[in-house]
Structure 1
Amino acid sequence: MSARRRLGTRWRRRRPLRTRLAVAAAAAVALVAIGVCAAAFFVIRYKLYQQLDQNLAQSATLIAQQRHYDTEPGVVTGECRYLGAPACSQIVPADAADDPAEPYLLPVTGETRKVAARQTAPYYTSLTLHGKPTRMYTTSYGDGDAVQVALRADIAERGVSQAASLLSAVGGAGVLLSAVGGYWVSRTGLAPITRLTATAERIAATRDARHRIELPPEPPGRAGHQDEVTRLATTFNTMLAELEESVAARRRLVADASHELRTPLTALRTNAELLARADRLTDAQRERASGALGRQLREVTGLVNDLIELARDEEPQPLLEEVRLAPLTAHAVDAAREHWPAVPFALRVAPEAVDLSVPGVPARLSRLLTNLLDNAAKFSPAGAPVEVSLTAAALTVRDHGPGIAEEDLPYVFDRFYRAEKARALPGSGLGLAMARQIAHAHKAELTAERAPGGGAQFRLTLPAP
């Protein structure tokens, strides 16, 4: 990498984005302004000299019309020393031997002789005559002669000089305005990014995700039409809302978990302290305390395992495979029959669902079904069946228990939520929350509703193939 390129890269890294954007915008506008002024200068210069050349060509034509071709070579008119006077002119033969005795007013060169001999095309020349800028035109005349016509070029030179001064001033003003415009563009264009940076820094300092970036009001009639920076700010606000919701959910989980763990841990400590004084207890008391301690350990272990499962947001991709739902559901129902012998389970699999399969993790899907079946069996009266139905579109689990109260329906899948009727039953209130999380991880939707005729019905809507 060359030294110049390294210097440019180092400059870009050290300068803030606003400065680089202002410099880039100002440079672009300045280049345009300088280019326009330069183009205007060359156009003006070309038009001034074009007009002067046209006057010279007309003067040469007028001389050719007013003179006979046998006119002797020499000076025809010689008034070039006066500004605005008629053009000075002279006739030059192709052969230097035919030159008159009087000297020529205008310079004669070998190129002039070639034009007279028609060996070279006519041409224009800029020269200094009598200390003044002059423009000369040389063209063929008659048979073997050339005519040279000259005019003072002071007016054209002065016009070119004035145009250069004026356009230089305009270009300088354009460069200055481009610098101001570049600063304004960078300041206005990066305002949302500045607010975004300030918001991010404030969140980092306060650890409060409730802050948002202020968005400019949308102009009337252009709702939904946002520029790229505004869309970035909107996306950042959406991300902050998701972050705030996630942080709030984590805090609720920690608070609920600490609340749910406090009671069993207290009971565990009490029973452990009681067993530490086993020499003062009878055999029956020791057996009762030991059984309570083991039961409470199992409850705490199950609760901790459920919390670990809820902490997972997605399924591990390497474990995904095609899972046949009919055999998996039948296995889960058989396991539930063994665990709940007093509750009959009825399974119905639609013909179109016999070979139905979905991508997923078998152990996690089995856990989802087990939680739904355990929940249904827990609320089912003795002898009332739990009905399981699998179709190509959904899997439903229905019980004939007390059902779900209308005010409890929005919260049945919340962590640690337990309806008033369920508080006397065993469980931690995490089973349905875990079931919905597993369903979402498998692109499925789990809903709860009041079943017709009483009881609760949970519907797992399967993802479209």
Structure 2
Amino acid sequence: MSTSERAPLRRLRSLPLRSRLSILTAAAVAVAVALAALACWLITRNELNTQLEKSLNQSQDVVLQQLRAHPTLLCGGQAPTNGQFVNPSNVLAQVVLSNGTVCSVTGSGTFPATAADREQVVVPGSPPGSVTHTVRADGHDLKVLTTSTNLLLDSGGGSRQPFALSVARPLSDVTDPLTTLAWVLLAVAGIGVVGAASAGLLIAQAGLRPVDELAQTVEHIARTEDLSVRIPVEGQDEIARLSASFNAMTAALASSRDRQQQLIADAGHELRTPLTSLRTNIELLQRSEATGRALPPTDRAELLASVRAQVTELASLIGDLQELSRPDAARTVTVVALHEVAETALARARLRGPDLRISADIQPWYVRGEAAALERAVVNLLDNAVKFSPSGGEVEVGLRGGELTVRDHGPGIPAEDLPHVFERFWRSPSARSLPGSGLGLSIVARTAQQSGGEVALAPAPGGGALATLRLPGAPVAPPGPPNPEDWD
């Protein structure tokens, strides 16, 4: 398509949607009306031509009957006796002799006889023939039907000669109604196109009103950042679905912003405590150095140990925040040997709880997920069990059929705290004195969801807590690239 041909399309696309709908509606109606008008005109023309030919045949039969009843007709020298003939349907009728002479039988005159007309003059007993053509006489076009008669004309003096009969009607009987019909159809088509364009504009305005409201709402939200605005949903059509989808999107955005603000507030609150303690300890060390009054070695060692612990806690908190803020698109999914991840996490847990007995029953299990995230989730579960286990206690770890269980023998979880254990920064009153950010179990829940599994925490029979992490997978690693159909 050339540049000049694409220019109208670009101009059409630059128009408002309601204008485009009106133009397209008018164009569609114009095409439909034009086709209907053309079909109507062609059908009418064919019908009028058929009626004209039928009228010529009928008129010819009437004139032939009258000629047979009055066989004497004078041609030349004297006027023909056409007063004895009836003029049927305003038809011109004349006889044509072999020499081209014509004599009027009925009507208001004669019309030229062509060679084709003269060829129809045959002697009696010859096969009859007929010819149809158009001639022009006195400024008018005539439709002529000439037919052999097998009759002899007495033209006076005792001579009788064969003749052909020509009947004619003006073509204006067809063209005048067709012209009138064309003007009527043109007027109707014009009215229809204008009406269709007007109706299309009104329908477009009514149909696009919800879209205008949606656009105004979007502009309002972009201007004010007010995500609480909702669009009324009426009906079940596409506009209603669009409005409902937009409302769902704004609700999700509002929820996401609320969670983000809550995360920032909670992170600020959690960071404030170790930072305040860290600043206090550092100021104490600076004051000791500035005044020249050295702290006792024991106090100085405890102070430095406290600083190291607070720095470690800050690093852990920052790492947890980074893990929770990382988008899903940044994850690299591979086939992960969950039993190997559990063994690595067990080694780290034994270092953090040297006075605990940690027993394990680990069976092979392969899952699809991110290795680092799965290891962090398992480590968080074990750290949680180590933190709440009493000195000399036991932690039982099992991995069977894709279900990882971690059971401790600590104080357990009160029933009223169970609904909140996977919330970010939530810590039970009994655990607020212990180290931790309150993000560990949130990270476990997110990792389980990303891997298509689930996690649960419940009181264990006989005391303590039982954490269960279920992940879909298989006991044997499938060959080739990961395929979701290979997993339970």
Q: TM-score, normalised by structure 1?
A: 0.85
For residue 60 of structure 2, what is the aligned residue in structure 1? 60
In structure 2, C-alpha distance between the alignment counterparts of 1:177 and 1:362, rounded to whole Å: 68
For residue 326 of structure 1, what is the aligned residue in structure 2? 339
Return closer, same or farther for 1:456/1:157 CA change in 2, 3 Å cut-off.
same
Return closer, same or farther for 1:84/1:98 CA change in 2, 3 Å cut-off.
closer
The 5 A counterparts of 1:111-260 are 111-113=116-118, 122-125=131-134, 129-130=137-138, 135-142=142-149, 146-152=164-170, 156-216=174-234, 218=235, 226-260=236-270
Q: By how many angstroms is 1:252 displaced?
A: 0.9
Letter in 1 for 2:327: D
Matched position secondary structure for 1:429: coil
The 5 A counterparts of 1:42-441 are 42-68=42-68, 86-93=90-97, 95=98, 97=99, 99=101, 105-113=110-118, 122-125=131-134, 129-130=137-138, 135-142=142-149, 146-152=164-170, 156-216=174-234, 218=235, 226-277=236-287, 278=289, 279-284=292-297, 285-314=299-328, 316-317=330-331, 319-349=332-362, 354-441=363-450
Structure 1 segments (4+ residues) deviating >6 Å: 69-79, 101-104, 117-121
Return closer, same or farther for 1:60/1:291 CA change in 2, 3 Å cut-off.
same
Contact 1:396 1:457 in 2 (8 A): yes
Matched position secondary structure for 2:231: coil
Contact 1:446 1:461 in 2 (8 A): yes
Aligned length: 446
In structure 2, C-alpha distance between the alignment counterparts of 1:206 and 1:114, rounded to whole Å: 95
Q: By how many angstroms is 1:72 displaced?
A: 7.5
Q: By how many angstroms is 1:89 displaced?
A: 1.0
Contact 1:412 1:418 in 2 (8 A): yes
Q: By how many angstroms is 1:48 displaced?
A: 3.2
Letter in 2 for 1:215: V
> Computing the radius of gyration over CA atoms, which structure comes out larger, 1 or 2?
2
Task: After superposing the two structures, state which structure 1 stretch, 115-124 or 6-15, moved more.
Answer: 115-124
Letter in 1 for 2:204: S
Letter in 1 for 2:469: L
Q: By how many angstroms is 1:295 displaced?
A: 1.8
In structure 1, C-alpha distance between the alignment counterparts of 2:467 and 2:29, rounded to whole Å: 66
Q: By how many angstroms is 1:157 displaced?
A: 4.6
Q: By how many angstroms is 1:307 displaced?
A: 0.6
Letter in 1 for 2:317: L
Contact 2:95 2:103 in 1 (8 A): no
Give a deviation string over 1:331-354, Cα, whole Å, max 9, x none: 2223212211233223224xxxx4
Matched position secondary structure for 2:387: helix
Letter in 1 for 2:12: R
Contact 1:73 1:90 in 2 (8 A): no
Q: By how many angstroms is 1:129 displaced?
A: 4.8
In structure 2, C-alpha distance between the alignment counterparts of 1:98 and 1:268, rounded to whole Å: 132
In structure 2, C-alpha distance between the alignment counterparts of 1:347 and 1:76, rounded to whole Å: 134
Task: After superposing the two structures, state which structure 1 stretch, 171-180 or 158-167, moved more.
Answer: 158-167
Contact 1:25 1:185 in 2 (8 A): no
Gap regions ≥5 residues in structure 1:
219-225
Give a deviation string over 1:41-72, Cα, whole Å, max 9, x none: 33334333432332112112333444459987
Q: By how many angstroms is 1:288 displaced?
A: 3.4
Q: TM-score, normalised by structure 2?
A: 0.81
Contact 2:82 2:104 in 1 (8 A): no
Letter in 2 for 1:99: T
Q: By how many angstroms is 1:195 displaced?
A: 2.7
Letter in 1 for 2:429: E
Letter in 2 for 1:369: V
Letter in 2 for 1:245: S
Gap regions ≥5 residues in structure 2:
151-161, 474-486
Q: By how many angstroms is 1:297 displaced?
A: 1.3
